[in-house]
Structure 1
């Protein structure tokens, strides 16, 4: 019984230390560049994005909201050009305790606005 209680308590502590946030936000395409991970990998087009408007008040972090890169092959809704606006799902996840955890912000599901 003590082992089960200790395991449950451990899970609760870990769950309390990790947190996440998600919202659909608008971004503006500021650049389109060729990107190649290595010489052996194919070249892909990536759009550099900047947030339109202000960072949501309930976001976990207010840092690192400029310069997102998203592959054009993953954007739906037609051809993307500089100046276009995209709607993307932004997700922030924080792993670990508040002081030592890492914050990651990722974009997915981008489509032309």
Structure 2
């Protein structure tokens, strides 16, 4: 068995956000706009924005996007329109956020036994 190369796909991009609860709504709206900029890109498989159930959670939002490869994600997110949108979000005081991004692949899987 060979170990896959770091860029072999598929990959999942996670960005776990520390964000004040009162900023979540503005961030969510911007996330929807930014996802629309990449959803038709080659290699894009899907996206979710997960929101904490409790106001007390350290990480209120988790961005999860699936891609055919890391190269596909980087190509799709490297365009000027998306970069400008991200820069605008970072400058927006209604979205005080600390991102924690990274690429991941499935390391193990568990599924329920079903008859």
| TM-score normalised per structure 1 | 0.24
Higher radius of gyration, 1 or 2: 1
Structure with bigger RCO (C-alpha 8 Å, 6+ apart) = 2
| TM-score normalised per structure 2 | 0.23
Larger strand proportion of the pair: 1
Larger helix proportion of the pair: 2
